[in-house]
Amino acid sequence: MLDHGAAPPVESATVPKTPFLTALVRRKPVERLVAEGGQGEGGSLRRSLSMWQLTMISIGATLGTGIFVVLGEAVPEAGPAVTLAFVFAGLTALFSALSYAELAGTIPVAGSSYSYAYATMGELVAWVCGWCLMLEYGVSVAAVAVGWGDYLNELLDGTIGVTLPAALSAPPGEGGVFNLPALIVVVLAMLFLMGGAKESARANTIMVAVKIAALVLFCAVGFMGFKSGNYSDFMPLGLSSVGAAGAILFFSYIGFDAASTAGEEAKNPQRDLPRAIMLSLVIVTVLYVLVAAVAVGAWDWKKFAGTDATLAAIMNDVTGQSFWGTLLAAGAVISIASVVLTVLYGQTRILFAMARDGLVPKVFGKVDAKTGTPRTNTVIVSLLCGGLAAVVPLGELVNATSIGTLFAFALVNVAVVVLRFTRPDMERSFKVPFGPVFAALGFLCCGYSMYSLDLITWVYFGAWMAAGLVFYFLYGMRRSRLVTEPVTTDAEK
């Protein structure tokens, strides 16, 4: 058994010096990862989440970003073929979700793909993966918060006839100075999370029910304006445009990854995490494709360019009344808030796991004994994400999130194969069908989607990764618990 209390100081002379290259590939044994589950500085996370709540976390983190916010950017990229782009992005996510499901059931910890990489490919790859997850989750919170402000203005205009001035509702470069609504929704999510995981999950379940009802309402109303002629030129920009749009829309499928970050707060993670991951992906993909098909059928695809609250605008146009668009905007305000809540939750839990391993400052691993949550971690991450949302345009945020997500998912597809070969004896509550074949397909789909992204996105990604490597070599590599604490279990010897 591991001693979860304060480790006794280790004299520098007793810590063996690890060769540089060996240090980069040192792995954290699965047994140690699982044994440390839930343990933090000053307290422990609480196992309180059921399979249904885990599924709602997945849906909450996923459903909303691609439809309520990014549809206006994806349709001009692919035309009516945006429905195929959603299918392509969904298949890409499916292969990776299968790998996530196997690893989540085998290694049910808070670090998600970061922890999976640590157990299979070594510390440097794990750090790179964790750094990508920071980009994926942190920037995703900011991107979705920006879209929340658009629908809030739509709601205010439809109910009381006023909107927030552009200076306070848009970032610099898009006609504004400071996006106040984006900061507000992140702060509200922060307050929910500080109350406890169970309480946050209950609030999220209510918000998910509202968002599903809002999308079903849109399909019912939007279908009345359906024009088959809008599909006459199905792929006006060519087949490559579907891949480009799919890469953008992959941003919309990160919800099941958020579920895997709840591994240390799930009641029965080995059984429930794989089920929640797969069930949520099926529900979300069906809704995405259905809503996209109705939206393009109701509007000529060229009208989507430059729109923000796209679904509300379509409902207003189809009915000739502002009431329906206002009603949808109200649902979107609640719906998108749930995305912010659940993705912010995932970000804090990944940093919690990395802090426990010593790769980031210990402050991110402190757990409040009363609430069982990493409260200081939550405050720091929320303020950083809220500040980012207030000053950075949506388009750049979406693309940066997509490439970080795709890179992390590609590593998960590798990790599941590595663990199959290195630890074939481990009990697995779920196994990827056709094993390495589906994992390879997931890796290739992620690679193709990354290739489809713009050069500027790669430049941003390269700069982010360079900064991460500098931090690792100057801080994390030296403070890793695999260095500072002695081996304590037979599995680690």
CB-hemisphere CA count at 13 Å for 390? 17
- Per DSSP, which regions of 158-276 are E strands? none
Give pLDDT tens digits along the chain (493 positions). Answer: 344 444 444 434 344 566 667 777 888 888 888 888 778 777 788 888 899 999 998 898 888 666 766 777 788 888 899 889 888 888 888 888 999 999 988 888 888 889 999 999 999 999 999 998 888 787 778 777 877 777 788 788 878 888 888 777 777 667 667 888 888 889 999 998 988 888 888 889 998 998 898 889 889 998 888 888 888 888 888 888 888 888 778 767 777 778 888 888 888 988 899 999 999 988 988 898 899 999 999 998 888 877 766 887 888 888 888 888 788 878 878 888 888 888 899 899 999 999 999 999 999 999 888 888 899 999 999 998 888 878 776 666 666 677 888 888 899 999 999 999 988 888 888 899 887 899 999 999 888 878 877 788 888 888 889 999 999 999 988 888 888 775 554 444 4
Report the DSSP beta bridge partners of residue 266. Answer: 49
Structure-token pair, residue 477: 């590599």
Helices (H) and strands (E) in the chain, counts: 21, 2
DSSP string of 379-435, one letter each residue: HHHHHHHHHHHHHS-HHHHHHHHHHHHHHHHHHHHHHHHHHHHH-TTS--SS--TTT
Q: How many CA atoms lie within 13 A of 232 on its CB side?
A: 6
pLDDT score at 380: 94
Q: What is the dihedral of CA 225, 228, 229, 235, to 10 degrees?
A: 120
**pTM for this predicted structure:** 0.83
Kindly state the helix (H) or strand (E) to which residue 44 belongs, with its residue range. Answer: strand 43-44
Rounded Cα distance between 80 and 57, Å, is 30
CB 336 within 8 A of CB 184: no
Q: Quick one: tokens of 237? A: 């920009």
Predicted pLDDT at 253: 78
Question: What does the block give as tokens for 95?
Answer: 């292969």
The residue type found at 332 is A
